[in-house]
Amino acid sequence: MKALVTGITGQDGSYLAEFLLKKGYEVFGLIRRSSSFNTYRIDHLYKDPHERPKLKLIYADLTDGSNLHSVLNEINPDEVYNLGAQSHVRVSFDQPIYTANVDALGTLRVLEAIRSMKKSAKFYQASSSEMYGKVVETPQTEKTPFYPRSPYGCAKVYSFWQTVNYRQAYNLFACNGILFNHESPRRGETFVTRKITRAATRIKLGLQNKLYLGNLDAKRDWGFAGDYVEAMWLMMQQEKADDFVIATGQTYSVREFLDEVFGHLNLDWGKYVEIDPKYYRPTEVDLLLGDASKAKKILGWQPKIGFKELAKMMTDSDMKIAENERILKDHIK
């Protein structure tokens, strides 16, 4: 089986690549040209003599349709996982048009490329709980109407419906995973969980004094990325393409995440955290809480790692990074 993954250098892309390689897939990852290294999350796979022959990296970009068209027709994958995106909600307010180009039109470009293939591939779209935005009901299910609150959310709604429409209009196997927030030690450092675990561990070792944050009252349904990529694959193994909410069914505030992480390090976060209004969003998503009953019933999927374990996993991992930073700093002195 051949799988093509856009966004392979991102958090989810790296876990999904690991997962698919373990299942024996040949994995084709689309990467962007960058002036600095951007493959650090998958370097361990590339260096592994067992995995390396089955992992192929190809330059491509979701803004370049002709490039996607030729890559897909050349590789002829059985499954396409569209994880590539400008995925930062706050940044989408600064770059709304770029975000729409990548996160909305980018999806359409991939769908069009699939439609041009002789033997069409199955398609997975990385849809998001951010589409529920100013939620109209709690918990959110596959039937909850969308009410996006950011350029990112709007772009993801567009992609959601294009995916549904290509399924209905062209009979493509095209499914949406509506994933609620999921984190890991590989989470980008500007998302709130990782920003907190990086800062708290650095504060513990005297490498940093303050942590500047925005809205501490926002609540999210936080799961572990490693659990969530399995759900993506399960959706692609069904007889019929469909859309699924993937979530833990528990919600916690940013404040509670701070309690958990600083508490684990025996620190009082009140002494270190300051509010910087620049981290507030023009429109906020106050509460997300998913109901993944459909995924449990049809896919047999449920999360393995809960909130406390996730916070501890990320803190312990970042403590190792902070320790190395301190060794380096002492060495330079």
Question: Which residue's CB comes closest to ligand NAP?
Answer: 10
Site for ligand NAP in 99-128 (CB under 6 A): 102, 126, 128
- The residues that are catalytic are 128, 130, 152
To ligand GDD, the closest distance from the beta carbon of 134 in angstroms equals 12
Pick one of ligand GDD, ligand NAP, none as the site partner of residue 190 (Cβ within 5 to 8 A by kind).
Answer: ligand GDD
For 30, phi then psi, to 5°, come to -90, 125
In the chain the beta strands, taken as DSSP E runs, fall at: 2-6, 26-31, 55-59, 79-82, 122-128, 174-179, 182-183, 211-213, 219-220, 223-224, 243-246, 252-253, 273-275
* 146, 131 contact by CB (below 8 A): yes
To ligand GDD, the closest distance from the beta carbon of 156 in angstroms equals 7
* Backbone CA torsion sign across 267, 269, 270, 271: positive
Nearer residue to ligand NAP within complex by CB, 178 or 203: 178
- The window from 5-13, 18-26, 229-237, 316-324 that contacts ligand NAP (CB under 6 A) reads 5-13
What six digits make up the tokens of 114?
């699939």
Task: Pick the binder of ligand GDD from 38, 73, 168, 190 (CB under 6 A).
Answer: 190
Between the CA atoms of 147, 15, 69 and 114, what dihedral angle is there, to the nearest 10 degrees?
A: -70
Task: Pick the binder of ligand GDD from 101, 115, 134, 214 (CB under 6 A).
Answer: 214
To ligand GDD, the closest distance from the beta carbon of 217 in angstroms equals 8
Task: Pick the binder of ligand NAP from 99, 120, 150, 181 (CB under 6 A).
Answer: 181
Please give the DSSP secondary-structure letter assigned to residue 139.
Answer: S
Residue 251 in the binding site for ligand NAP (CB under 6 A): no
* 300, 231 contact by CB (below 8 A): no
Residue 4 in the binding site for ligand NAP (CB under 6 A): no
* 241, 125 contact by CB (below 8 A): no
Amino acid (1-letter code) at residue 38: N
Contacts of 206 (CB under 8 A, 6+ apart): 326
Residues that bind ligand GDD (CB under 6 A): 87, 89-90, 128-130, 180-181, 190-192, 195, 213-215, 218, 220, 254, 279, 281, 284-285, 288
Residues that bind ligand NAP (CB under 6 A): 6-7, 9-13, 32, 34, 38, 61-63, 83-87, 102, 126, 128, 179, 181-182, 188
